[in-house]
Structure 1
Amino acid sequence: MDNRVPIWVWHYFSLDHARAASSFSRKCGELEALAPSSGDEDTAPIGTRSDHRSYATSSVLASGAFIEACINEFILTASRDDLAHVEGAEARTGLELNERQQITAAGRDLSKESKTLERYQKVLQLLGREQFDRGARPFSEAALLMRLRNELVHYKPQWRPEHSDERRSTDQHNLVVGLMERKFTPNPFYADSMNPYFPEKCLGHGCTSWAWNSALKFADCFFSRAGTTWMYENARYTLQP
């Protein structure tokens, strides 16, 4: 007879994504210190560029995953009496019972919303809180980040001009224009190359720092409006990109 008591675990992955996004971003910065200066011979160890691309891509993906995990965790935690009112638990939503009941009742409709940022908007609306201005920060930055994340996840190759102003090229689209307008420091491994802006010049420490900071500011603003904090708060000092 098996007398073992089963243990159930409710895991919050948003903190894992936060740590991954910031850690991979720092790795990008460390490798960029090995990049050659303009006109100098490239003496970086073999594999440095490919490692750098891996870190940059992983950081952006984790930043996007962090945004999605936060709202899903918030919605599902609100529906659980055994989580929402645990004394001292980091995961408490901080919501009143009637507010949690509203979110629980709308749970199915919220889960059907395919656009992650709209899920945030609907939750704020249900709670009677001020919604985000879609045309202003931090929403606009989070929206651009999610578009970049989706471009990487659902990537479809296409011909890009070797070297030109991409704003005028056939490859011009709102994502690339938006990223170029942020003017973050380009990937130094390709800064002087003839390669197009995306992905070579775009995916670097400047981009990953922007992506993670945008994700964190968006989450901070949401939880502030909701009147609570989330798991990453106690680890904030470790989450520098």
Structure 2
Amino acid sequence: MKKNITSNLKAIFKTKGELILTYHISRQHLNSAKYFSSCAQEIESSTVLPINDEVRSKHLAFVTGSIILSVAALESSINEFYCEAIDKNPNTLKGIDSIRLAIIAEFWEEIERLSILQKYQKALFFLGIPKFEEGNKVFQDAENLVKLRDLLIHYKPEWDNELNIHAKIEKRLNGKFPLSPFASMESLWFPHQCLGFGCSNWSIATIITFMNEFCQKVKIPERF
């Protein structure tokens, strides 16, 4: 009986013609991020000021959800890449030298403890491919996005006259996307002005650009 394999399912034929399946969630994370971002955009385009607390809360939920899931997509995708190397998946990693894949698989336990972007850098290193230049825009945007996600997940409030980490994220991100239409210019840049559709849309574009460049470097099909 023929199996219907969705875009998130990966199949490998093992010995004796056995078909085994595994599920990749990175694309679903990205789709969820896109959905939440579109919900934030709809609220911004349809809401007449002043905004009430209920709508504001929904808007922030969609924006923060989109940002967090964008980074989740980036992280889960590179983890999936390493697992494919361990499995020697001939479908998604076709064309990559088997010896290099074996080296990647050998060091996975060590690599697993690295940060998200260092996992990408280490994969390129083991494949004999030039790593991302850490000063270029593609890498910097991805790094800034991860820092924003970390700031949301590990949030610590700061007094407006003693801004430290919040001021640093503003310096990194200010000017990269349109600000929230629901925040006044007198309000804190982070989190109030920063967290809007502009930021969530930038987050999605950032991980897609980064991932596509990684795939081009490795010469594998686009994963998003």
Shorter-normalised TM range: 0.7 to 0.9
Gaps of 5+ in 2: 1-18
Structure 1: which 4+ aligned runs deviate by more than 4 Å? none
**Structure 2 equivalent of residue 164 of structure 1:** none
Equivalent residue for 2:117? 117
State the distance in 2 between where 1:93 and 1:217 align. 22
2:191 maps to 199
Identity %: 27
SS at match of 1:155: coil
- In structure 2, what is the equivalent of residue 96 of structure 1? 97
- Residue 19 of structure 1 corresponds to which residue in structure 2? 31
- After superposition, residues 1-241 of structure 1 pair within 5 angstroms as 9-36=21-48, 41-42=49-50, 47-81=54-88, 84-85=89-90, 89=91, 91-92=92-93, 94-113=95-114, 115-161=115-161, 170-171=163-164, 173-182=167-176, 184-190=177-183, 192=184, 194-232=186-224
- Give CA-to-partner distance per residue, 1:52-79, whole Å, 9 cap, x none: 0000000000111111111110011111
Give how far 1:231 is off. 4.1
**Unpaired runs of at least 5, structure 1:** 1-6, 162-168, 233-241
Q: Which amino acid aligns with 1:28?
A: A
Please tell me whether the aligned partners of residues 79 and 103 of structure 1 are also in contact (alpha carbons under 8 angstroms): yes
Q: Which has the higher contact order (CA 8 A, sep 6+)?
A: 1
Asked if the contact 1:77–1:93 (Cα under 8 Å) also holds between the matched residues in 2, the reply is: no
CA contact (8 A) 2:212 2:223 kept: no
Paired residue secondary structure (1:33): helix
Shift of 1:94: 4.2
- Alpha carbons 1:185, 1:206 under 8 Å: kept: yes
Separation in structure 1 between the aligned mates of residue 52 and residue 95 of structure 2, nearest angstrom: 50
The verdict on how the C-alpha distance between 1:45 and 1:19 changes in structure 2, with shifts beyond 3 A counting, is same
TM-score by length of structure 2 reads 0.84
RMSD: 2.0
* Separation of aligned partners in 2, 1:140 and 1:207: 15
Using the alignment, how far apart are the partners of 1:71 and 1:77 within structure 2? 10
Q: Structure 2 CA distance, aligned partners of 1:93 and 1:224?
A: 13
Distance 2:104 2:94 in 1: 11
User: In proportion to residue count, which structure has more strand?
Assistant: 2
Q: What's the CA shift for 1:93? A: 5.4
Q: In the aligned structure 2, how far is the partner of 1:211 from the partner of 1:205?
A: 10
- CA gap of 1:27–1:199, structure 2 versus 1, over 3 A, is same
1:174 offset after TM fit, Å?
2.1
Cα distance in 2, alignment partners of residues 75 and 110 from structure 1: 9
